[in-house]
Amino acid sequence: MPEEQKKTPEEILEEAKKMIGMETEPVPFQYPLEYEPIRRYCLMIDDDNPLFLDPEFAKKTRYGGVVYPPFAPFGIMNRGSPEKMANLGKGGEMIIPPTPGRYFINMAQEWEWFTPAIVGDRLTAKGRLGDVYIKPIQIDPKAFWVITETHITNQRDEKVCIFKNILLCHRSPEEVAEDV
Amino acid sequence: MERKQIYWEDVEVDQEIPTGYSLKIDITRMVMQVSGTQDYYAVHHDRDFAHSQGVPDIFLNTGFLTAAAGRLLTDWIGTEGSLKKFRIEMRRMNLLGDTMWVKGKVTDLHARLTCASNNPKQPACLRRSSSACSRRRSVPGGTRGTP
């Protein structure tokens, strides 16, 4: 692209802001919630909670079955291939606005839960762009901050949880130097 | 595998959460991280790639960190407790070779009425909002919540 046609961060932000509130189509999880991913998820942090791992125990609780650990929908969302993960914006799971930088870092997450997810449930995710703005960081005075939301529902269309990712997107030092 | 159940009356501001723990972040744990979260981004498992991205080494992903915090809380609140809201901020990386400590402290308490029984003889139940909630000892019922 010729230099004179290159958009400034402010121009890119103007385009990005038009996407706030935009939602993806609902994307059903490929499989019902299963025992085995929970086992691997719990193993990773030495979690031996019987509510997540012991079907006999879980059956006798008020949930009536093995419960999905509260933060696990994020892990399951990532299920797939490295290529799929690198193209979540293109795959329809997330709304990613245009940004001047290529380097994304997840800076924070917020969660709210409404009803438990039980093994056998069929979940659906819908993405939404919550916000985008410029806030300087040490290495990039025009770093972009992107807030994405993921709304998870079950097969009864009940809200399971909402989580927000607060993403920082910055440019390389060379790109920042070009902008000055 | 029965767990201790805590109740509203057991919790006080400034109380240390007793279920804290630590994990050594060795290469096996990094492999378990990829297996557990299915997060294949190479910065979390490929040391050469991580170095090429300007970070000191491979580091734990967000899914691992939320899972670790989740274990602390769900171990504490017991199988009758529920998480309602949660926020986590990334301040620095947990790198290969580090030891990660997971611990917490009660900073505030909230009680709010979130359900009422159809049976007039049965009292409504109080639930704690914020990061964790549990039923009152004196209340037999409760809503279906997320642990």
Q: What is the CATH number of the domain that holds B18?
A: 3.10.129.10
Looking at the DSSP bridge assignments, the partners of residue B128 are B111
- Tell me the C-alpha distance between A23 and B92, whole Å: 31
The neighbour count for residue B103, using CB atoms within 10 Å, is 12
Q: Whole domain around residue B64: which residue ranges?
A: 13-133
Residue B36 lies in a domain: yes
What pLDDT, on the 0 to 100 scale, is given for residue B67? Answer: 94
Are A110 and B89 in contact by the 8 Å Cβ rule? The answer is: no
Q: Residue B31, SS3?
A: helix
Total count of domains within chain B: 1
Cβ–Cβ contact A101 with B under 8 A: no
Cα nearest neighbour of B24 on chain A: A45
Closest CA to A111 of B76, B84, B73, B67: B84
Under the banding of pLDDT at 50, 70 and 90, the label for residue A65 is very high
In a domain, B126, yes or no: yes
Q: Do B147 and A75 touch (CB under 8 A)?
A: no
Residues constituting chain A: 180
Cα diameter, chain A: 68
Q: Which of A44, A108, A113 sits opposite B84 (nearest CB)?
A: A113
pTM of the predicted model as reported, rounded to 2 decimal places: 0.83
Domain assignment present for residue B34? The answer is yes
CA B136, CA B63: separation in Å to the nearest integer?
Answer: 31
Put simply, whether A74 touches B (Cβ < 8 Å) is yes
Task: Per-residue pLDDT tens, chain B, 147 aa: give them.
Answer: 457 889 888 899 999 999 999 999 999 999 999 999 988 889 999 999 999 888 899 999 999 999 999 999 999 999 988 899 999 998 889 999 999 999 999 998 876 544 444 444 433 333 333 444 444 453 333 333 334
Q: Are A27 and A94 in contact (CB under 8 A)?
A: no
pLDDT tens string A95-143: 889 999 988 888 999 999 999 999 999 999 999 999 999 999 999 999 9
Residue A87 has pLDDT above 70, yes or no: no
Measured from the Cβ of residue A163, the count of other Cβ atoms closer than 10 Å reads 22
Give the Cα separation of A11 and A28 in Å (integer): 35
Classify residue B140: in a domain, yes or no: no
**Is A48 within 8 Å of chain B by CB?**
yes
Tell me the three state secondary structure of residue A2: coil
Domain assignment present for B28: yes
What residue in A sits closest to B68 (Cα-Cα)?
A45
Kindly state whether residue B31 falls inside one of the protein's structural domains: yes
Q: Residues with Cβ < 8 Å from B32, sequence gap 6 or more?
A: A40, A43, A44
Give pLDDT, residue A117: 95
Which single residue is written with the structure tokens 């299915």?
B38
Q: Which tops the pLDDT comparison, B8 or A65?
A: A65
